[in-house]
Amino acid sequence: MHAARVLIVGLTAVIVVLALALVTITVGRSSTPSAADLAAPVDALAGSDDDCVTCHRLQTPGIVEQYGHSTMAAAGVSCQDCHVVEEGYPGSVPHEGLFVLNQPTTAICQNCHVQEVAQFNQSRHGLPAYVAYAGDEILTAAQTQIYASIPEGGNDPEATRARNALHELEGEAITRFACEACHDIGKPAADGSVGQCSSCHLRHEFSLEQARKPETCNFCHIGPDHPQWEIYQESPHGIYYATGGDKWHWDAEPGTLSAADFPAPTCATCHISGFGSAGTTHDIGDRLTWFLFAPISSRRPAWQDNKVRMQGVCRECHNQNFITEFYAAADAATERVNAWVVESNQTIAPLKEHNLLTPAPFDEPIDFTHFNLWHHWGRTAKFGVWMQGPDYVQWHGAYEILHDMAELREQVRDKLDEAGLETESH
C-alpha cells in the first residue's frame, strides 16, 4: 500500500496543477469552472506500459478507459490484483501465459475490503437471495454454515416454497432471465465465495456516484411485488432527487455524509451510506424492524437496535417527534395488512380442510388470487407506507387487497357449492 500512497500523493499534485491551470484558463474566459470540472478524474492508466493495459486498450478499450478513471486505479490497484490467480484456482482460465478469473469473486475483493464483504455476507443480498430460488439443499457444508449464521436469514417457509414452485413451473429457459437475473446477487462462485459486488458496482468504474443513485437499485427493486423504485419516485424524497439531485455531492467521502451533501435521501442513504449517526454498512437489513416481504410480517431479531440506526438517518433532517409518530403509524398499518392476510388464510381454510384445492401450486385461479393478495398488494401497501408512496398504499395496495378478498370469498363459495357443502358464511 506504500507504493499506492506515493502514487496518490503524486497524482494529487498532478490534479492540483491541472486544476490551477483550468482555473487560470477559465478565469481568462471570464467564467468559473464548476466543481464537477475540477473533480473530473484523470486517466490513471494514461501512460501505462502494463501488458494487460496496453493489449486491452486495443481489445476492450471501454474497460481500460473506465478503469483508468476509477479511484482504485488512482490508488494503484492493477488489473492483475483482481484478475490474476494461481494455476488451478477454481474457475480460472489460462490467458496469455497466466491464469485469470473472467469474473473476479468476492474472495478477491475481500483481500482488500474485508469489512464490506463480511457485511454483505451477513445480509439477505448474500445467500438468502440465492436460496430464494435455488433452495438450500445445494449449498456446500461451509455455505450452509454461513447461511445458518445470518441473523436475518429467518424467513417464512411458506413464502419461500411458493416462489420456488414458480421457479420450477416456469423452467430454466425463462428463469435464467428472471429469478436468476435478480437473485444471483447472492450466488456462490466456483471458489465458494458468495455474491456479486458488480450488481451495484457496475464494472469497471467502481463509482460512488453510480452506486449511490437510486437507479442502481431499480434493476431489481421494481415491479408489482416489490415496487420500491416506483414508490421512491412518488415520495417527497424521490421528487427532491428528481428535481435537484444534479447538485448533490455524489462523490463525497464515505462515512461522513450529511444533509449538506444530500438534502434528501436516496435508497442508499437510508439503507447503506454512513449518514448522521448511522455508520456505512453493506448489510442492508441492519436498519430494518419488520420482515416486510413475508406474507405476515413479524419483527426482526434485534429490531430495536436496527430502528435506532434507521432513525439516526431520519434525524439528520426530521425531528424525533415526527419520526416517532411516523413509526407508530407505520407499525399500525403493517399490522392492519397482517390482519387482512390472516383473514384471507381463514377464508380459504375450509377448502384445505375438505381437500378441495389441487395439491399442485399455481394450477387454478384461486391459487393466484390468494397469492396476489399478500405477495403483490399486501407487500406493496406495506412498502408504500414505510417509503412514502400514497398511491401504492391505496390504489395498488389496500384497494386491490379488498378486491381480491371479495373474489376469494366468491371462489371459495363456488367450490364449496360445487362439492355440495354448506357455506358457513351465509
What is the footprint of ligand HEC within residues 58-87 (CB under 6 A)? Answer: 59-60, 63-64, 67, 71-72, 75, 77, 79-84
Q: Which residues pair with 257 in a beta bridge?
A: 275
| Nearest-angstrom CA–CA distance, 217 and 212 | 9
Quote the least distance from Cβ 73 to ligand HEC, whole Å.
Answer: 7
Q: Is 244 exposed, middle or buried (0-12, 13-18, 19+ CB in 10 A)?
A: exposed
Is 199 or 338 the residue whose CB approaches ligand HEC more closely? 199
Q: How far is CA 162 from CA 35, 174, 295, 300, 388, in A?
A: 51, 17, 11, 21, 28
Residue 237 in contact with residue 388, Cβ under 8 Å? Answer: yes
* 205 binds ligand HEC per the rule CB under 6 A: no
Q: How far from the centroid of its chain's Cα atoms is residue 383's Cα?
A: 14
Among 44, 85, 117, 341, binds ligand HEC (CB under 6 A): 117
In this chain, which of 182, 278, 348, 366 binds ligand HEC, going by CB under 6 A?
Answer: 182
Assess 368 for contact with ligand HEC (CB under 6 A): no
Give the interface size with ligand HEC as a residue count (CB under 6 A). 121
CB-based contacts of 66, cutoff 8 Å, min separation 6:
203, 204, 205
127 binds ligand HEC, rule: CB under 6 A? no
Asked if residue 337 binds ligand HEC (CB under 6 A), the reply is: no
User: Position 104: which residue type?
Assistant: P
CB count in 10 Å sphere of residue 209: 13
Query: Cell 392476510 identifies what position?
Result: 341
Q: How far apart are the first and last CA of the chain?
A: 77
Shortest approach of ligand HEC to residue 420 CB, angstroms?
A: 37
- CB 143: neighbour CB atoms within 10 A? 19
CB of 27 to ligand HEC, least distance (A): 29
214: contact with ligand HEC by CB under 6 A: yes
Q: Is 367 in the site for ligand HEC (CB under 6 A)?
A: no
Q: Determine if 378 is a binding residue for ligand HEC (CB under 6 A).
A: no
For position 102 contacting ligand HEC by CB under 6 A, the verdict is: yes
CB burial of residue 98 (10 Å; 0-12, 13-18, 19+): middle
Q: Does 375 bind ligand HEC (CB under 6 A)?
A: no
Q: CB neighbours of 122 closer than 8 A, spacing ≥ 6?
A: 150, 151, 152, 283
Does position 187 bind ligand HEC by CB under 6 A?
no
Q: Are 289 and 306 in contact (CB under 8 A)?
A: yes
According to DSSP, residue 47 is labeled T
Min. distance of Cβ 164 from ligand HEC in angstroms? 6
For the segment 220-259, give every residue that binds ligand HEC (CB under 6 A). 220-223, 226, 228-229, 232, 236-237, 240, 254-255, 259
Is residue 373 part of the contact set for ligand HEC (CB under 6 A)? Answer: no
- The burial class, CB within 10 Å (0-12 / 13-18 / 19+), for 251 is middle
Q: What nine digits make up the cell of 234?
A: 412518488
Q: How far is the CB of 18 from ligand HEC (least distance, A)?
A: 19
Among 69, 204, 370, 415, binds ligand HEC (CB under 6 A): 204
Residue 284 sits in the site that holds ligand HEC (CB under 6 A): yes
The span from the CA of 81 to the CA of 305, in Å, is 37
Pick the binder of ligand HEC from 26, 113, 187, 191 (CB under 6 A).
113
Task: Report the residue from 89, 99, 326, 362 that binds ligand HEC according to the rule CB under 6 A.
Answer: 326
- Binds ligand HEC by CB under 6 A, chosen from 51, 305, 363, 364: 51
Smallest distance from the beta carbon of 239 to ligand HEC, in angstroms? 8
* 44 touching ligand HEC, by CB under 6 A: no
386 binds ligand HEC (CB under 6 A): yes
Rule CB under 6 A: say whether 108 interacts with ligand HEC.
Answer: yes
